[in-house]
Amino acid sequence: MNLHKSSNFNESLTYPAVIDRLGRFNLELEIDTVANLYIIPRDCHGTSTSDRDGVNQEAIVTDGCPNADHVFKEESTADNGKKFRFSLNVFRFKNSNGMVYIHCSAHICLKNSNETKCQFGCGENNRRRRRSVEDNALTQLNDDLSKDYDIRTGLIIVTENSKNYNNSFQQDTQETSKNAQFFQTTSNIILIAIILVMLTFVCSLLVFIGLRRHRSGSKRYGVPGSPSKMELS
């Protein structure tokens, strides 16, 4: 199940996602097929854990009927019904650190089906089962169409002010980056200093060796002031 940043449904969020308490859940059910099918939510509810049968539950859709307490809105469909989009006011559970998971049981339907599970809404016409011999025959061709598929979102964290949360996170990240750059710069300076010391040592050693060789050469070929030729008597 996809969670989007806004009701434009042009930017999906990655999980874990952070949402402001005053915002809305913008959710999308999607079926990946080229067949003439569409997807519809039958039952949806929220929990404080990833367990769909958890103790803390909040009803969102029950038997195809949305919970009006959450200001549920069915958004425009996309991809010829292969994406069912809806939104509702954000909620959170007490003593849950703002953690919310949303679970749905979705039904796959044939296009223009009159099957009860393929009707969405709370009206009497949608609640009453309308039979069609043609639809029943087509439905029996594929057993998968008689199943409900359980899907859920990833972890959603509801905060009192997600902007402050994001700003704080960015500041911490920037501070960490600055510290890393500082240590990296310090390490570079130390490395350069070591290289300079080694170069100085090598140069000094070469000069010392040169002087020693020069002095040794002077002793071998004579010292100034001593006789340069042998005198014969």
In the structure encoding, which two tokens stand for residue 165, read together?
């949360």
Ranking 91-95, 116-120, 133-137, 211-215 by mean pLDDT, the lowest is 133-137
Within 10 Å of residue 47's Cβ, how many Cβ atoms? 21
Domain ranges within the chain, ordered by starting residue: 2-122+134-159
Across the chain, mean pLDDT equals 79
Cis peptide before 16 (omega within 30 of 0): yes
Say which CATH topology domain 2-122+134-159 has.
Answer: Immunoglobulin-like (2.60.40)
pTM tops 0.85, yes or no? no
pLDDT in tens, 167-207: 555 665 566 566 556 556 777 788 888 998 888 888 888 88
pLDDT in the model for residue 86: 95
E strand segments, 31-180 = 37-47, 57-62, 65-66, 73-74, 83-89, 99-110, 148-152, 156-159
pLDDT in the model for residue 231: 45
Query: Could you tell me which of 189, 54, 62, 43 has the C-alpha nearest to residue 122?
Result: 62
The residue count of the chain comes to 233
Query: Could you tell me which of 63, 13, 11, 17 has the C-alpha nearest to residue 41?
Result: 63
In the structure encoding, which two tokens stand for residue 2, read together?
């996809």
| Residue 162's pLDDT band (cuts 50, 70, 90) | low
Over its C-alpha atoms, the chain yields an Rg (Å, rounded) of 39
| Residue 60's pLDDT band (cuts 50, 70, 90) | very high
Q: CA-CA distance, 194 to 140, in Å (whole number)?
A: 80
| Residue 151's pLDDT band (cuts 50, 70, 90) | very high
